[in-house]
Structure 1
Amino acid sequence: MDIVFLVGRILLAAIFAFSALGHFTQADGMAQYAAAKGVPAAKAGVLASGVIAVLAALSLVLGVWIDLGALLLVVFLVPVSVLMHAFWKETDPQVKQTELISFNKNLAIIGGALILFYLVNTTQQVALGLTGPLFGAF
């Protein structure tokens, strides 16, 4: 079962690794889009969120303080969900539906990240990881 845990971590991390790559290689375009959504200091936000995404992805893949990596996913996704996928502000039904789908996807990933945080901290074990949890049992 250890390999299942590792594969799950890699698949979850892949989303954020590819996202981080876009944050750095397409920062100007992403900043323009974020600014259009009303995000203040959009370029800095894009770069900062890229750093958070890459740190979270590395944490999950390498198994280094997975609990911290899981919390970084939450830190990444909460503002992205509220600022970038504000479906409640949309009037066009198609755009509203697209934003609602993205918002709900992020909620599911936030839930999964919180479950991962809980699991790692209650078992105090990280299968096929380099370190145990950072925060210890809660």
Structure 2
Amino acid sequence: MDVLVLIGRILFVALFLNSALGHLTQTKAMEGYAASKGVPSPKAGVLGSGVLMLLGGLMLLLGVWPDLGALLLFLMLLPTALLMHAFWKESDPAARQGEQIHFLKDLALAGAALMLFALMAIAGDDLGLTWTGPLFGRDDD
């Protein structure tokens, strides 16, 4: 099972590491897009979300406090869904549908990150193929 969890971690973080690279190398373009969505402090938002995706993704991938890594991804995904994909504000049906898909995708990923946080916190040391155990978790060992 350790190998399956590792494969799952690799597949899960691929999106975040790729997105982090875009946020940190194409900040100006992404800042403009975030500003068009009404995000307060769009440059800080783009850089902050890029850092959260990079740190969270690497921590989860490498197994260095993977529970914290999953939590960082969760903390980035929830405001992103609400601020960047507010489909309820769209009047054009096609734009509304596209934003709703992205909103629900972010919610689904947030749910998966939250489950990974719990899984890593509860069973982190038993999963194997990680460099460290969980930062959070049971104290009954």
TM-score range normalised by the length of the shorter chain: over 0.9
Q: CA RMSD in A?
A: 1.1
Q: Any idea what the Cα deviations from partners look like across 1:39-88, whole Å, max 9, x if unmatched?
A: 11101110111111000110111001111011101111011100000001
Deviation at 1:24, TM superposition (A): 1.2
- Mapped to 2, the partners of 1:113 and 1:127 lie a distance apart of 19
Task: Show the counterpart of 1:35.
Answer: 35
Counterpart in 2 of 1:60?
60
Distance across 2 between alignment mates of 1:50 and 1:105: 18
Please tell me whether the aligned partners of residues 124 and 137 of structure 1 are also in contact (alpha carbons under 8 angstroms): no
Instruction: Say which SS state the counterpart of residue 40 (structure 1) adopts.
Output: coil
For the Cα contact (< 8 Å) 1:56–1:69, is it kept in 2? yes
Cα distance in 2, alignment partners of residues 36 and 2 from structure 1: 43
Q: Give the corresponding residue for 2:130.
A: 129
Unaligned segments of structure 1, at least 5 residues: none
Deviation at 1:105, TM superposition (A): 0.7
Partner residue in 1 for 2:49: 49
What aligned pairs does 1:60-79 form with structure 2 within 5 A after superposition? 60-79=60-79
TM-score with structure 2 setting the length: 0.94
Give, as a single letter, the amino acid of the residue that structure 1 aligns with 2:122: T
Whole-angstrom distance in 2 between the partners of 1:80 and 1:124: 27
Contact 1:67 1:133 in 2 (8 A): yes
What code does the residue aligned with 1:128 have? L
Q: Is 1:103 matched with 2:77?
A: no
Partner of 1:13: 13
Q: Distance in 2 between matches of 1:57 and 1:122?
A: 19
Q: TM-score, normalised by structure 1?
A: 0.96
What corresponds to 1:91 in structure 2? 91
SS in 2 for 1:64: coil
